[in-house]
Amino acid sequence: MAVNRVPAWTELDMNGVGARAKVVAFDLDNTLARSKRPMSEEMAQRISALTCLIPVAIITGGRFELVDIQVLSMLDADACRGNMHLMPTSGTRYYRWNGSEWHREYAYDLSTDERQAVIAAFERHARELGLWAEHTWGERIEDRGSQITFSALGQEAPIEEKEAWDPDNAKKNALAAAVGAEFPELAVHSGGATSVDVSRRGVDKAYAIDRLSTMLDVPVDSIVYIGDRMDPDGNDYPAAVAGTIAIRVTGPHDTLKVCDELIARLS
197 is in an annotated binding site: yes
Question: What b/e sequence results for 91-128 when a residue is b if at least 16 CB atoms lie within 10 Å of its CB, and e otherwise?
Answer: bbbbbebeeeebeeeeebbbeeebbebbbebbeebbee
Residue 192 — φ and ψ, nearest 5°?
A: -80, -160
| pLDDT at residue 118, rounded to an integer | 98
pLDDT < 70: residue spans in the chain: 1-3
Please tell me the distance from the alpha carbon of residue 241 to that of residue 217, in angstroms, as a whole number: 19
CATH, range 9-108+203-266: 3.40.50.1000
* DSSP state, residue 188: E
| pLDDT at residue 245, rounded to an integer | 97
Contacts of 196 (CB under 8 A, 6+ apart): 122, 149, 150, 172, 175, 176, 179, 188, 189, 190
260 is in an annotated binding site: no
195 is in an annotated binding site: yes
109 is in an annotated binding site: no
CATH, range 112-200: 3.30.1240.20
92 is in an annotated binding site: no
| pLDDT at residue 1, rounded to an integer | 55
81 is in an annotated binding site: no
Could you tell me which residues are beta bridge partners of residue 199? 147, 187
Of 81, 85, 82, the closest CA to residue 106 belongs to: 85
10 is in an annotated binding site: no
Beta strands in the chain (DSSP E): 23-26, 56-59, 84-87, 93-97, 102-107, 141-143, 147-151, 186-190, 195-200, 223-227, 245-248
| pLDDT at residue 2, rounded to an integer | 60
Longest dimension (CA), the chain: 53
| pLDDT at residue 3, rounded to an integer | 66
Of 260, 189, 264, 259, the closest CA to residue 224 belongs to: 259
Catalytic residues: 27, 29
How is the chain split into domains, by residue range?
Answer: 9-108+203-266, 112-200
| pLDDT at residue 20, rounded to an integer | 97
Q: Residues 46-90: pLDDT tens digits? A: 999 999 999 999 999 888 999 999 999 999 999 999 999 999 988
